[in-house]
Structure 1
Amino acid sequence: MVLVLIRTYFPEGTQGFLEWNGTLVCYTIELPWLENQRRISCIPEGEYVLQKRFSPKFKWHLYLQNVPGRDFILIHPANDAKKELLGCIAPVTKHTGIGKGSASRIALQKLTTLIYAAMGCNEEVKIKIQSNPSTPIRMTR
């Protein structure tokens, strides 16, 4: 199973939407692209294996494996990228501004229900992150 995260970059934050088999699962918010700097930038585009993770703070959420130059990149609930994210990805039900969204916990529940079902069938789940072809601002490597 491969989920596709299609991003649009802005100086204040990164907006996205997450699809599976061409169907919208949820929207996403992230920090802006700042050359993959720890704790202040979104991660590079690419394909990453997802795994289940539990923490007392976020409960059940997702972990992206082998992100270059980074560790503990998660998909967890947050409604304001600049206030609540340190390089992670937050699913949201809708965008409310650049790097902002609403009903993140509901979006995460929808996402994890889909992904955990696939993982329960011993299927590897990946996330492919790419830029939106119509994006006015693009990430540079």
Structure 2
Amino acid sequence: MAKGQIQGVLKRFPDDGRQVLGRMHVYRGIDQVFSTCTLELSDKGNARNISCIPRGTYKVVPRHTDARGWHYEISGVPGRSLILIHPGNFHRDIQGCVLLGTDFIDIDGDGHKDVVSSRRQCDALWDCIGENEWTLQII
């Protein structure tokens, strides 16, 4: 990896059929600069709105909307668009995107772990990377 290049690695844990937990580490060059818990939908063959995206390496670009403010979009996903990294707590908060959090806790008592402090983690990621493009490897 080139000096100063930003790369994230998202390692997924086993899929429970409803959702997939994981950990994402972000590196600038060889230095880890950020770490977070992740929550995605279960793997349903990359089907829109109901599945996580396939394993692979993707370009991540900064994006701004009035509704979400600054956040990141994972681009280059085959057959998919608008795959975002954004705040949320529950699997029902996503349609193929990636949620960030500080920890896994079953907030709503449904038997599935949720992510907590999601807005704080998304803000911290933005503070770390800002408007830079980066790559994300999902394994």
Q: TM-score, normalised by structure 1?
A: 0.81
**Number of positions where the alignment pairs a residue of Structure 1 with one of Structure 2:** 124
Corresponding residue for 2:118? 104
Query: In 1, distance between residues paired with 2:36 and 2:46?
Result: 24
Letter in 1 for 2:53: I
**Higher helix fraction: Structure 1 or Structure 2?**
1
SS at match of 1:10: coil
Distance change >3 Å, CA 105–CA 33, structure 1 → 2:
same
Query: In 1, distance between residues paired with 2:113 and 2:128?
Result: 24
Among 75, 78, 81, which residue is 1:71 paired with?
81
Distance change >3 Å, CA 71–CA 99, structure 1 → 2:
farther
Q: Pick 1 or 2: higher relative contact order, CA cutoff 8 A, min separation 6.
A: 1
Corresponding residue for 1:40? 50
CA deviation after TM superposition for structure 1 residue 99, in Å: 5.4
- 1:128-139 matches, within 5 Å, as 128-130=137-139
Query: In 2, distance between residues paired with 1:73 and 1:20?
Result: 18
Note the alpha carbon deviations across 1:57-87, whole angstroms, 9 max, x for none: 2111001111111011010111002x21000
Instruction: Verify: 1:15 aligned to 2:21, yes or no.
Output: yes
Query: In 2, distance between residues paired with 1:63 and 1:99?
Result: 24
Detail structure 1 runs of 4+ shifted over 3 Å in the superposition: 21-24
Letter in 1 for 2:12: R
Letter in 2 for 1:41: S
Q: TM-score, normalised by structure 2?
A: 0.82
Query: In 2, distance between residues paired with 1:84 and 1:106?
Result: 16
Instruction: Verify: 1:95 aligned to 2:104, yes or no.
Output: yes
Note the alpha carbon deviations across 1:23-59, whole angstroms, 9 max, x for none: 4511100111111110000000111111111112211
CA deviation after TM superposition for structure 1 residue 101, in Å: 1.0
Letter in 1 for 2:130: Y
